[in-house]
Structure 1
Amino acid sequence: MEQQLSSILIDNESDNLNLLNEYIETYCDDYIKVIGTSTKFEDAVRLINQKKPDLLFLDIELDQGTGFDLLLKIDPYDYVVIFVSAHDEYILESFKYNTASFLMKPINIEDLKFACSKVFKQIKAKRFTNLEQIKSLISSINVNDHSREGVIGIMTIPGVYSTKFIRTETIEYCRADGRYTEFYLTDGTTLVSCKNIGDYEKLLPSNVFFRIHKTYIVNLNTITEIDKKQGHVCKLKNGQSLPISKRKYLELVKFLNMN
Structure 2
Amino acid sequence: MEANLLTPATPIVPAFPATYQRGLQRIALPYLNRTIMVAVDEIMCLEGEGNYTFIFTRDRKRFLVSKTLKEFEKLLDDLLFVRIHKSYMVNLAYVEFGASTKDRIIRLTDGREVTISRRRMKDIASLLNGYMQRTIN
What band does the TM-score fall into relative to the shorter chain? 0.7 to 0.9
Matched with 2:117 is: 245
| SS of the residue 2:85 aligns to | coil
Distance 1:151 1:237, change over 3 A: same
Indicate the percent of aligned positions where both proteins have the same amino acid: 26
Q: Deviations over 1:170-204 (max 9, x none)?
A: 10100001100000011111111111000000101
Matched with 1:154 is: 26
- Given that 1:148 and 1:208 are in contact with CA atoms closer than 8 Å, whether structure 2 keeps it comes out as no
Which amino acid in 2 is paired with 1:157?
L
- Given that 1:160 and 1:194 are in contact with CA atoms closer than 8 Å, whether structure 2 keeps it comes out as no
**Does residue 1:215 correspond to 2:87, yes or no?**
yes
Displacement of 1:248: 1.9
**Does residue 1:179 correspond to 2:51, yes or no?**
yes
Q: Deviations over 1:185-244 (max 9, x none)?
A: 111111111110000001011111100111111000000134334x31011111111111
CA distance in 2, matches of 1:249, 1:149: 29
Compare CA radii of gyration and give the structure with the larger one.
1
Q: TM-score, normalised by structure 1?
A: 0.40
- Given that 1:208 and 1:220 are in contact with CA atoms closer than 8 Å, whether structure 2 keeps it comes out as yes
**Does residue 1:228 correspond to 2:129, yes or no?**
no
* Higher helix content, 1 or 2: 1
Displacement of 1:253: 2.1
- Given that 1:201 and 1:211 are in contact with CA atoms closer than 8 Å, whether structure 2 keeps it comes out as yes
Runs of 4+ in structure 1 off by over 4 angstroms are none
Number of matched pairs? 113
Which amino acid in 2 is paired with 1:195?
K
Displacement of 1:257: 4.1
CA distance in 2, matches of 1:252, 1:148: 20
Distance 1:249 1:150, change over 3 A: farther
Where does structure 2 lack aligned partners over 5 or more consecutive residues? 1-17, 131-137
CA distance in 2, matches of 1:155, 1:184: 14
Displacement of 1:147: 3.4
CA distance in 1, matches of 2:21, 2:96: 14
Matching of residues 1-259 of structure 1 within 5 Å: 147-148=19-20, 150=22, 152-159=24-31, 161-225=33-97, 226-229=99-102, 231-257=103-129
Q: TM-score, normalised by structure 2?
A: 0.73
CA distance in 1, matches of 2:63, 2:39: 13
Matched with 1:114 is: none
Displacement of 1:152: 3.8
Which amino acid in 1 is paired with 2:88?
Y
CA distance in 2, matches of 1:148, 1:235: 22
Where does structure 1 lack aligned partners over 5 or more consecutive residues? 1-145
Displacement of 1:160: 5.2
Which amino acid in 2 is paired with 1:173?
C
- Given that 2:80 and 2:92 are in contact with CA atoms closer than 8 Å, whether structure 1 keeps it comes out as yes
RMSD: 2.3
